[in-house]
């Protein structure tokens, strides 16, 4: 099925060379996206989710960052090898991105209509009038009320939810095949979060855009994603169809993420609301452990975990886990 991938990332390695040393942000990550699917990417802050997305978009600041190895294959081309001009023709057109905080992504001195229109004009060669009409059309599509008036307003005049809708309108203006959404609801209250998620699902269903949904919120993943990638310390530690991930969790880190989600009505022995946490700290990207990066925090660690990095073991169709426990279980099953 690999030939059916719309986008394929192979052995992606992205590092940042700083005065403190080399930060190993993304370490040999490989995955693919199918047309029209929603791929969830989940993990704690600093696990490499956003850097992976920025690498795909070729938005890594150079220096200090650099894509050191790997390929990003799209439309028969390796995006890593494209010139800046060639990549600009794809970015915002065939592949778009919604950023985490719209207030820092939108230009404060330009109206939202002008900013949406500029994307359309750049990639479609539209006139100023056509671009403005497209901006109105896109704001209506993302359910911004009084769109013809709103196009004349500046980002600071809009609420957080409205600014995020503007970002979505910009990203979808040229009908991209792939949309990367990097924590698109983090700064919003829960009611607006639900509205934005519902909007994205409706637009995805209508336009058949493939979405990479980057988040730390497992609730969003459960509701939206077809498949899930779990990242830790710059590596994929588990990947599976969403239902499989939640019902047949393989990696101790994924299980820790699941257990750390608050459950209403769960109490400890003192009658207080119980909140489970993953013990320990995320390792420094400047000094990753020799073996499995999760080993220092893992309740099931062994000597092999501390000295040898496990590969991704296939435990069922479409389900891979980077854990020696899964490897041992597979070997025992084969022996039996």
For 126-163, write each residue's pLDDT tens digit. 999 999 999 999 999 888 999 999 999 999 999 888 89
- pTM comes to 0.89
Q: Decide which of 173, 193, 228 is a domain's last residue.
A: 173
pLDDT in tens, 215-255: 988 888 998 999 999 999 999 999 999 999 999 999 999 99
Higher pLDDT, 120 or 99: 120
21 in a structural domain: no
List the single range of 49-58, 163-172, 186-195, 259-268 with lowest mean pLDDT: 259-268
3 in a structural domain: no
Domains identified in the chain, total number: 2
What is the pLDDT confidence band of residue 270, given thresholds at 50, 70 and 90? low
DSSP string of 12-74, one letter each residue: EEEEEEETTEEEEEEEEEEEEE-TT-EEEEE-STTSSHHHHHHHHTT---TTTEEEEEEEEEE
What pLDDT is recorded for position 111? 95
196 in a structural domain: no
195 in a structural domain: no
Would the pLDDT of 272 be above 70? no
Range of the domain at 258: 242-335
Distances (CA, A) of 122 to 88, 131, 220: 10, 10, 33
Would the pLDDT of 279 be above 90? no
DSSP helix/strand/coil, 228: strand
Would the pLDDT of 7 be above 60? yes
Task: Give me the chain's average pLDDT, please.
Answer: 89
Surface-to-core class of residue 3, CB atoms within 10 Å of its CB (0-12 exposed, 13-18 middle, 19+ buried): exposed
Mean pLDDT of 30-35: 96
5 in a structural domain: no
List the single range of 2-11, 52-61, 317-326 with lowest mean pLDDT: 2-11
* 169 and 248 co-located in one domain: no
What pLDDT is recorded for position 269? 57
Residue 45: beta bridge partners?
Answer: none
Give the Cβ contact number of residue 317 at 10 Å. 8
Distances (CA, A) of 336 to 316, 330, 333: 17, 10, 5
pLDDT in tens, 89-105: 999 999 999 987 777 78
Would the pLDDT of 335 be above 50? no
86 in a structural domain: no
Paired sense of beta strands 319-321 and 313-316, if any: antiparallel
What pLDDT is recorded for position 216? 86
CA separation for the pair 289, 305 (Å, rounded): 10
Q: Decide which of 116, 151, 173 is a domain's last residue.
A: 173
44 in a structural domain: no
List the single range of 16-25, 86-95, 182-191, 314-323 with lowest mean pLDDT: 182-191
Question: H or E segment at 207?
Answer: helix 190-207
Would the pLDDT of 1 be above 70? no
Residues 6+ apart with CB under 8 A from 217: 42, 185
What pLDDT is recorded for position 329? 53
* 247 and 331 co-located in one domain: yes
Q: Decide which of 147, 173, 199 is a domain's last residue.
A: 173
DSSP state of 91: B
136 in a structural domain: yes
DSSP string of 243-281, one letter each residue: HHHHHS--SHHHHHHHHTS--TT-B-TTSSBP-----S-
What pLDDT is recorded for position 185? 79
């Amino acid at each position: 099925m690999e030939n059916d991938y719309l986008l394929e990332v192979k052995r992606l390695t992205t590092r940042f060379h700083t005065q403190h040393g080399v930060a190993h942000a993304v370490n040999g990550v490989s995955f693919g996206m199918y047309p029209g699917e929603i791929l969830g990417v989940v993990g704690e802050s600093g696990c490499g989710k956003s850097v992976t997305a920025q690498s795909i978009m070729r938005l890594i600041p150079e220096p200090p960052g650099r894509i050191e190895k790997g390929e990003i294959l799209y439309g028969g081309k390796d995006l890593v090898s494209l010139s800046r001009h060639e990549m600009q023709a794809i970015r915002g057109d065939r592949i778009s991105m919604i950023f985490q905080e719209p207030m820092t992504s939108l230009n404060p001195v330009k109206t939202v209509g002008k900013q949406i229109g500029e994307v359309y004009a750049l990639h479609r060669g539209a006139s100023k009038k056509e671009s403005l009409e497209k901006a109105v059309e896109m704001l209506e599509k993302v359910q911004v009320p009084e769109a013809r008036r709103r196009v004349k307003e500046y980002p600071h005049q809009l609420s957080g939810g409205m600014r995020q809708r503007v970002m979505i309108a910009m990203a979808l203006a040229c009908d991209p095949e792939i949309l990367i959404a990097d924590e698109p609801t983090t700064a919003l209250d829960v009611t607006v979060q639900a509205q934005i998620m519902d909007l994205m699902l409706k637009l995805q269903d209508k336009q058949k855009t493939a979405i990479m949904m980057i988040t730390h919120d497992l609730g969003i993943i459960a509701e939206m994603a077809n498949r899930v990638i779990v990242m830790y310390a710059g590596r994929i530690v588990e990947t599976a169809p969403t239902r499989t991930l939640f019902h047949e969790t393989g990696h101790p880190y994924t299980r820790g993420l699941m257990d750390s989600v608050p459950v209403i009505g769960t109490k400890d022995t003192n009658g207080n609301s119980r909140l489970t946490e993953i013990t320990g700290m995320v390792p420094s990207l400047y000094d990753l452990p020799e073996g499995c990066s999760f080993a220092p925090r893992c309740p099931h660690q062994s000597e092999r975990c501390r000295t040898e990095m496990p590969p991704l073991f296939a435990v069922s169709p479409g389900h891979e886990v980077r854990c020696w426990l899964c490897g041992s279980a597979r070997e025992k099953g084969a022996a039996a």
